[in-house]
Structure 1
Amino acid sequence: MADKLSAGQPGMPVPSNKEAKVMNADANIQVWLEMFSQIPPGIVVPYVQTSQDTMLHYKVLVVMEGHAGRSLISQTGEVRTKASIPSALGRVSVNRNPEDDCHINLVLSGHGGNELSYHFPCRDTTQHTKKQLTLSNK
């Protein structure tokens, strides 16, 4: 059995943009980010948790814009979730200046190709604390 998150359950919901594109509306899907850093760069780990065993395709896109230009980091893959157990979707290193505009998009899709798209601000990845954002598709 997979361990729960080291800091316990996800924290309070934080407003974020979410677009549903005909994915199972009855599915209970939670998505959040954990951000770790001792010193820059920060490490961002996206998580997904479902109410039932499910196979999902995912794409994580980090977009940063600042005085030095625009940077894109993309990761894709598949994850087989177990009911009520958080699943990490890889990890991304984010090195940004406080004045940079930064956001993280996470797109989930099932076998039918339907998508759920989540949009998170990067926040400050240079702090020495872990942050969590939670969304529920219920």
Structure 2
Amino acid sequence: MMAADTNLQAWLDTVPGTQPSVVIPYVQSRENGIVRYQLNATKQGLGGISTINQSGDVQLKANTPTALTRFSLSVGERDQCKIELVLFANGNPAGSYQFECPRAQ
């Protein structure tokens, strides 16, 4: 069973050569366990505001990166954008992360 204060690492990766960008959030833990996640991506630009909300449970294997989900995101040069990821272990908050959105290159 995973403790709520388990040291979790979270990061974003993108699939190279995709337009719009395909974003994949990953989580890694030192212990096996189940983590619930809530992801919220918000983009604000000239075209208005768009949001992506996803949540679910994933089984983590100790010291192994685990993809939570994948989603597409098109962020323009002048858009404001952020990705928030909240993790829960055993029903308790286990980590909160904020990321800059990947931008088209």
Structure with the largest fraction of strand:
2
The alignment-based identity, stated in percent, is: 36
Unaligned runs of 5+ in 1: 1-22, 128-138
1:74 aligns with 2:53: yes
The structure with higher relative contact order (CA 8 Å, sep 6+) is: 1
Deviation at 1:37, TM superposition (A): 4.0
8 Å CA contact 2:8, 2:95 repeated in 1:
no
Give the TM-score, by structure 2 length: 0.89
Whole-angstrom distance in 2 between the partners of 1:111 and 1:39: 36
Give the secondary-structure state (helix, strand or coil) at the position aligned to 1:33. Answer: strand
Whole-angstrom distance in 2 between the partners of 1:67 and 1:111: 41
* Runs of 4+ residues over 3 Å off in structure 1: none
1:50 aligns with 2:29: yes
Superposed CA deviations along residues 27-69 of structure 1, whole A, max 9, x for unmatched, are 2211000012424200000000000001110011110000111
Of residues 106, 109, 125 in structure 1, which corresponds to 2:88?
109
Unaligned runs of 5+ in 2: none
- Count of equivalent residues: 102
